[in-house]
Amino acid sequence: MHKKAKEPNDLEKFFVERANAGDVDGLVALYESDARLDCGNGEVMIGIEQIREFFIHFLAGRPQLAPSRQAPALCSGNLALTSSRLDNGEITAEVARRQPEGNWLWVIDQFSVGSRSKE
């Protein structure tokens, strides 16, 4: 059983852990059933099945991700905007929603919204 995100920024931490473990099901468990995932190449995956297919291919190369630098989550009610800066300077943006049980899942995930030079 996978841990559930108690805070919006838990999602990114779990993403890195599960990706590094090659855990496709664990990655998919971070998303709502009708979530949108922008792969960064102009393609948008819609729903769990397309997101699962994307992660099968993504993990085929056995990537090892470094923890990112997360900005504090910006929350409004049951929605939260999360963002991270990766080691390569790219910046991600995600929208998470608090579920009825109290945990958080991503609704929208954009792998890269741009880049910023490292500080």
Residue 29 in 3-state DSSP? coil
Q: How confident is the model at residue 118 (pLDDT cuts 50, 70, 90)?
A: very low
CATH of domain 10-115: 3.10.450.50
What sign results for the dihedral spanned by CA atoms 52, 3, 95, 61? negative
* Alpha-carbon gap, residue 8 to 26, rounded angstroms: 16
Arithmetic mean of pLDDT, 21-33: 97
pTM of the entire structure?
0.90
Q: What is the pLDDT of residue 101?
A: 96
Tens of pLDDT, residues 34-63: 999 998 778 899 999 999 999 999 999 888
Tokens for 6, please give them. 């108690």
Kind of pairing between the strands at 31-38 and 104-115: parallel
Q: What is the pLDDT of residue 117?
A: 47
Nearest one of 59, 54, 56, 30 to 44, comparing CA atoms: 54
Q: What is the pLDDT of residue 70?
A: 93
Tens of pLDDT, residues 74-86: 999 999 999 999 8
* Alpha-carbon gap, residue 98 to 96, rounded angstroms: 7
Give, in degrees to the nearest 5, the angle at Cα 110 between 26 and 9: 55
Nearest one of 101, 76, 79, 77 to 4, comparing CA atoms: 101
